[in-house]
Amino acid sequence: QIKESATLTRDVLEQHFSDLKGTLKKLLDERLMSLLQEVDFIEQESIKPLDECQKLIEHGVSTADDLLREGESAVDGDVGTQNEKLCNFTKKALHIQLDSLPEVPSLVDVPCLSAQLDDCLLTILKNQIFRHGTVASRPPVQLEEFVEKPGGILVRWCKVDDDFIPQDYRLQYRKSTASHFEDVYVGSETEFIVLHIDPNTDYQFRVCARGDGRQEWSPWSVPQIGRTTLVPHEWTTGLEGYSLSSRRNIALRNDSQSCGVLYSKAPTYFCGQTLTFRQVFFGIETVGQPDRRDSLGVCVEQQNGYDSLQRDKAVCISTNGAVFVNGKEMTNQLPAVTSGSTVTFDMEVVQLGPCSNEGGNFKLRVTISSNNREVVFDWVLDQCCGSLYFGCSFSYPGWKVLVF
Q: How do residues 116-155 score in pLDDT, each as one tens digit?
A: 888 888 888 888 888 887 777 778 999 999 999 989 999 9
Q: Is pLDDT at 280 greater than 70 in this prediction?
A: no
Mean pLDDT of 346-372: 76
Last residue of a domain, one of 181, 204, 228: 228
Q: In terms of domains, do 213 and 254 share one?
A: no
Dihedral sign, Cα of residue 92, residue 94, residue 99, residue 102: negative
Q: Give the pLDDT band (50/70/90) at residue 282.
A: very low
Distance CA 45, CA 237 (A): 77
Task: Answer yes or no: pTM beyond 0.75.
Answer: no
Contacts of 141 (CB under 8 A, 6+ apart): 157, 158, 159, 160, 161, 164, 166, 169, 207, 208, 209, 218, 221
pLDDT at residue number 84: 72
Q: Give the pLDDT band (50/70/90) at residue 216.
A: confident
347: enclosing H helix or E strand: strand 342-350
Mean pLDDT of 70-97: 71
Higher per-residue pLDDT: 49 or 254: 254
Higher per-residue pLDDT: 63 or 388: 388
Amino acid at 306: Y
Residue 149 domain flag: yes
Q: Is pLDDT at 252 greater than 80 in this prediction?
A: yes
Q: In terms of domains, do 379 and 275 share one?
A: yes
Cβ atoms < 10 Å from Cβ of 182 = 9
Contacts of 177 (CB under 8 A, 6+ apart): none
Q: Angle at CA 49, nearest 5°, toward 43 and 54?
A: 110
Name the nearest CA neighbour of 273 among 322, 233, 311: 233
Q: Give the pLDDT band (50/70/90) at residue 382.
A: confident
Q: In terms of domains, do 218 and 363 share one?
A: no
Residue 175: CATH number of its domain: 2.60.40.10
The share of the chain scoring above pLDDT 70, in percent, equals: 91
Last residue of a domain, one of 186, 201, 228: 228
pLDDT at residue number 167: 92
Q: In terms of domains, do 247 and 380 share one?
A: yes
Higher per-residue pLDDT: 86 or 188: 188
Distance CA 309, CA 302 (A): 10
Q: Is pLDDT at 290 greater than 50 in this prediction?
A: yes
Name the nearest CA neighbour of 255 among 393, 394, 400, 398: 398
Residue 16 domain flag: yes
User: E-strand spans in 212-255?
Assistant: 224-226, 242-244, 250-253
pLDDT at residue number 12: 85
pLDDT at residue number 287: 45
Q: In terms of domains, do 79 and 6 share one?
A: yes
Q: In terms of domains, do 72 and 24 share one?
A: yes
Enclosing domain of residue 152: 141-228
Q: In terms of domains, do 204 and 254 share one?
A: no
Name the nearest CA neighbour of 321 among 331, 307, 335: 335
Q: In terms of domains, do 296 and 192 share one?
A: no
Distance CA 116, CA 296 (A): 76
Q: In terms of domains, do 95 and 208 share one?
A: no
Residue 136 domain flag: no
Last residue of a domain, one of 228, 257, 281: 228
Q: Is pLDDT at 403 greater than 70 in this prediction?
A: yes
pLDDT at residue number 283: 30
Q: How many structural domains are present in the chain?
A: 3
Q: Angle at CA 132, nearest 5°, toward 126 and 135?
A: 140
Distance CA 268, CA 287 (A): 30
Q: In terms of domains, do 153 and 33 share one?
A: no
Q: In terms of domains, do 332 and 373 share one?
A: yes
Cβ atoms < 10 Å from Cβ of 161 = 15
Q: In terms of domains, do 189 and 213 share one?
A: yes
pLDDT at residue number 284: 26
Q: Is pLDDT at 77 greater than 70 in this prediction?
A: no
Residue 233 domain flag: no
Q: Determine the 3-state secondary structure of 131 from DSSP.
A: helix
Range from 85-99, 115-129, 154-168 carrying the lowest mean pLDDT? 85-99
